[in-house]
Chains A and B, each alone.
Chain A
Amino acid sequence: EVQLVESGGGLVQPGGSLRLSCAASGFTFSSYWMSWVRQAPGKGLEWVANTNPYGNEKYYVDSVKGRVTISRDNAKNSLYLQVHSLRAEDTAVYYCARHTNAWDYWGQGTLVTVSS
């Protein structure tokens, strides 16, 4: 069974940093593109970043470029998102998702709240 489990969210002060993790199981993690997608409370979905199976291709939405780094450790079946200089508008549930033809599996998400 495919499983994606996010962790690392929490309450952070503006300007702070956070590292989110996504533990994958039930499939060959190293064969898939992976993404982070976020959803602000009561709002829609926003793609944040993605990376290829090898981790050497990375793409970001403009609103996070320079503040966010996506990475992966295929030996640990894990995906990461390092976020710096957090702003109130980064408050959201962050999901990791697996790519095939679209995003076919999603984790349950981890909530990041940016507030003083």
Chain B
Amino acid sequence: DIVMTQSPDSLAVSLGERATINCKSSQSVLYNSNNKNYLAWYQQKPGQPPKLLIYWASIRESGVPDRFSGSGSGTDFTLTISSLQAEDVAVYYCQQYFTTPWTFGQGTKVQIK
């Protein structure tokens, strides 16, 4: 199984400041034949289902604010919130869909400092 490890487990950022979440996979999720990274990011607020933010490691889902961006390739990935807003308080998960079992990181809780 591919193990996804996020860091940090939690972070507190001031409003308007940058938040950065890292995700590392135990093996590459880059499919060489199409040069795509099978990596997604989700946001989950309390009492709600997860919401897709980013897929193919860096493609923003329709309707997602452009302050959210994804980067990385192979085994190392980053989700960046360029200017944290109050509504961004949530838990964020990375997920690989390269191979079954599809697996998630343990989650990173983002709070306001």
Contacts and interface: CB of A to CB of B under 8 A. Distances in A.
Given A44-B104, A45-B93, A47-B103, A102 B52 contact: yes
Interface stretch (B18-26, B54-62, B79-87): B54-62
B18 to A, nearest CB: 24
A62 B59 contact: no
Nearest to B50: A106
Contacts, number: 52
Contacts of A107: 49
Contact of A101 (B51, B56, B102, B106): B56
A102 B100 contact: no
Given A45-B93, A106-B49, A107-B49, A101 B101 contact: no
Contacts of B105: 44
A101 B54 CA distance: 10
Interface in A23-65: 35, 44-47, 50, 59, 61-62
Most chain-A Cβ atoms within 10 A of its Cβ — which of B59, B95, B102, B104? B102
Interface string B21-49: 00000000000000000001010100011
B93 to A, nearest CB: 6
